[in-house]
Amino acid sequence: MTTTITADDGAVSGSAGLKSTADSSGTLGLVSTSGIVTTAGNTGGFIPPTGTTAQRPSSPVAGTTRFNTTTNAYEVYNGSWQSLVFPTYTGSYLIVAGGAGGGAGGGGAGGLLTGTAPLIIGTTYSVVVGAGGAGSSKVGTPGSSVAANGNDSVAFSVTSIGGGKGGIQSASSAEYTGGSGGSGGGGTIDVAGTSFGIGGSSTVGQGYAGGSGVAGPNYGGGGGGGASAVGSNGTNSVGGNGGAGAASSITGSSVTYAGGGGGCIFSSGTAGTGGAGGGGNGGSNASGSNATANTGGGGGGGAYASFIGGNGGSGIIILSVPTANYTGTTSGSPTITTSGSNTIMKFTSSGSYTA
């Protein structure tokens, strides 16, 4: 049934002077003798007819407007359906999540993603830079507390996943197996020194898996995975090397990000080195080193019993936009540079950009 609401007092605004009629055309009409129909007294939002392309009205008239959930855009009919396109320009991004802390195995690097995004003029885009995960700390002999995964970085509806923690010497397979993340953490061995943990798995398109640990006598921990290579397996003479990160030239110069942390070696041998892109080195009868800040690198693994794992590196988000479109409206104090015809915003902490 169709209901037509007519305002005798000039505007459809409240209940005074309203009358309604009904027919069977399937259309709701709002009629005002002054030509004004207002919802100005409301403080919420207006929700138009909404549906897929297949659910468009079969006999639209010119001016029919709706929100199309297939194209995710408003559209209007003027003889054919036309999308209402907001003024935009294109920005390029690099999004790197926080790297994970090292246990005895190296920490996995934070996930790394690159791409482009349409930026709607006048829209503010939040930028969340993920923190690095803490390395394991000694709480007894043998053993360490569990290392922490890295934290996600998020911008433009894109999420890079934090790195997976390095495994520790433990009775639990969940703890001596490397953690999963953007890149996987390196595995290590159980408390008895007889079973080994495999490397953690990675997130497709963001990084690589960690390497496995090895049982006695020197218990080499696996290296954490990096953005472009897996972490190496540990042996009884060397800890696994961290997987290499990936290079980006979004700033105008090539910089490598998201290297995995190196695995430890217990008492005799060579610890694994951190992957290119900020990964921390493993410890040879020593603690692992911290990853480089704002690279998303994984922390190095620390030798068992007396030493700690390195901390993962914090992430970074870089946005490049045409200088002709750059508004200069940001929060979070990004570093601003130019390269060619582009302006580059390098966020080392969370903030925003208004297009």
Query: pLDDT tens digit string along 255-289?
Result: 999 999 999 998 789 999 999 999 999 999 999 99
Q: What are phi and psi of 23, to 5 degrees?
A: -140, -165
| pLDDT (average), residues 103-118 | 96
Query: Do both 151 and 279 map to the same domain?
Result: yes
- Please report the pLDDT score of residue 218 as a whole number: 84
Give the bridge partners for 270, in sequence order.
Answer: 238
One-letter amino acid of 284:
S
Taking alpha carbons only, the member of 101, 148, 81 closest to residue 291 is 101
- Please report the pLDDT score of residue 338 as a whole number: 97
Please say if the pLDDT value at position 5 is more than 90.
Answer: no
Last residue of a domain, one of 83, 106, 127: 83
- Pick the range with the lowest mean pLDDT from 24-28, 51-55, 140-144, 340-344: 140-144
Percent of the chain with pLDDT over 90: 67
Query: Do both 177 and 294 map to the same domain?
Result: yes
| pLDDT (average), residues 11-24 | 48
Q: What is the DSSP letter of 53?
A: G
Last residue of a domain, one of 83, 108, 126: 83
Query: Do both 43 and 110 map to the same domain?
Result: no
Domain containing residue 42: 2-83
Q: Give the list of residues 6+ apart from residue 202 with CB closer than 8 angstroms, or none.
A: 108, 164, 180, 181, 182, 183, 184, 208, 209, 225
Q: Give the list of residues 6+ apart from residue 292 with CB closer than 8 angstroms, or none.
A: 278, 280, 313
Token representation of residue 38: 């207002």
Q: Is 174 helix (H, G, I), strand (E, B) or coil?
A: helix
- Please report the pLDDT score of residue 10 as a whole number: 47
In what order do the strands lie in the sheet containing 2-7?
18-23, 2-7, 29-32
- Please report the pLDDT score of residue 27 as a whole number: 63
- Please report the pLDDT score of residue 154 as a whole number: 98
One-letter amino acid of 112:
L
- Please report the pLDDT score of residue 144 as a whole number: 58
- Please report the pLDDT score of residue 204 as a whole number: 97
| pLDDT (average), residues 182-191 | 92
Query: Do both 138 and 258 map to the same domain?
Result: yes
Q: Give the list of residues 6+ apart from residue 255 with CB closer than 8 angstroms, or none.
A: 247, 248, 249
Query: Do both 12 and 156 map to the same domain?
Result: no
Please say if the pLDDT value at position 62 is more than 80.
Answer: yes
Please say if the pLDDT value at position 17 is more than 80.
Answer: no
- Please report the pLDDT score of residue 12 as a whole number: 46
Query: Do both 110 and 234 map to the same domain?
Result: yes
Query: Do both 198 and 49 map to the same domain?
Result: no
Q: Give the list of residues 6+ apart from residue 35 with CB closer than 8 angstroms, or none.
A: none
Last residue of a domain, one of 83, 115, 148: 83
Q: What is the largest CA-CA distance in the chain?
A: 94
**Confidence band of 28 (pLDDT split at 50, 70, 90):** low
Query: Do both 173 and 244 map to the same domain?
Result: yes
Rounded to two decimals, the pTM is 0.80
| pLDDT (average), residues 10-29 | 52
What's the structural domain count of the chain?
2
Query: Do both 94 and 67 map to the same domain?
Result: no
Query: Do both 73 and 118 map to the same domain?
Result: no
Query: How far does the chain reach from its first CA to its final CA, in angstroms?
Result: 45
Please say if the pLDDT value at position 327 is more than 70.
Answer: yes
Query: Do both 58 and 11 map to the same domain?
Result: yes
**Confidence band of 217 (pLDDT split at 50, 70, 90):** confident
Query: Do both 45 and 93 map to the same domain?
Result: no
